[in-house]
Amino acid sequence: MRSYKVRDYVMVGLFGALWGVVETTLGTYVNVIFPWFTNTFFKGVILGSIGVAVALTGRFFIQKRGSVFLIGVITALLKTLSPGGARIGPIVAILMQGLLMEIVLSAAGDPRRWAYVLGGALAVGWNFPHKFIMMRVMYGRNVVQVYTKLAQDGSEMLGIDASLALLILSILLGVRLLIGGVAGWGAWALGGAVTERRGQRRQAAAE
């Protein structure tokens, strides 16, 4: 943290707020921009990936270790201060997403496109196990029995093999990882586009 300057903290705060804005404001816009994606699953994944893309774009402009995690911390704290109140689920999810992105980006060292793609994929992919892990934490170990029974009953009712449930779960995880990867790729591209635009703006001002 000692290497952080005032500008870095300001950017951490601003991108943390921007992630919060995206989470809260863009929900309504997604319905307008992508009306065919009003399904909750897609909406959640799209919103999550845009939020992750914003946080990763923040890292593009704050090339310091820990910055994405700090952006996540700020977003989580804003969530606790929001009128919706302090809810444990979304706050843990945001912190975990920030941590996963940070681990990948810190391990990669220098900023690289593949690290953004992998970080984005893991962060959006986290939404999937998060639900199960939070249920296990909230309800205790009994919930595992409930899951097992539900899977067995569901496969019996639909007349499909229980192993197919695993395939469905893998597909759901895979879709998230893919969209997250695209979000990471998009964040890299967005960072580049913004840098270019700001360069042009400065050049115009100088002229």
Q: Would you state the structure tokens that stand for residue 97, as one six-digit string?
A: 């997403």
Question: Of the candidates 130, 139, 126, which has an alpha carbon nearest to the alpha carbon of residue 55?
Answer: 126
Q: Largest Cα–Cα distance in the chain? A: 72
Q: How far is the CB of 24 from another protein (least distance, A)?
A: 8
Nearer to another protein, 92 or 173 (CB): 92
Q: How far is the CB of 12 from another protein (least distance, A)?
A: 5
Whole-angstrom Cα distance, residue 122 to residue 104?
9
Which residues contact another protein (rule: CB under 8 A)? 1-2, 4-18, 20-22, 24-26, 29, 32-34, 50, 53-54, 57, 61, 70, 73-74, 77-78, 80-81, 85-88, 91, 137-140, 142-143, 145-146, 149, 153, 190-191, 193-194, 197-198, 201
The structure tokens 């799209």 sit at 46
At a CB cut-off of 8 Å and minimum separation 6, what does 193 contact? none
Q: How far is the CB of 125 from another protein (least distance, A)?
A: 21
Nearer to another protein, 16 or 119 (CB): 16
Nearer to another protein, 145 or 163 (CB): 145
Q: How far is the CB of 50 from another protein (least distance, A)?
A: 8
Nearer to another protein, 142 or 163 (CB): 142
Q: How far is the CB of 188 from another protein (least distance, A)?
A: 13
What is the CB neighbour count within 10 angstroms for residue 72?
A: 30
User: According to DSSP H, which parts of the chain are helical?
Assistant: 6-33, 40-61, 67-81, 88-108, 113-139, 142-158, 163-206
Nearer to another protein, 112 or 149 (CB): 149
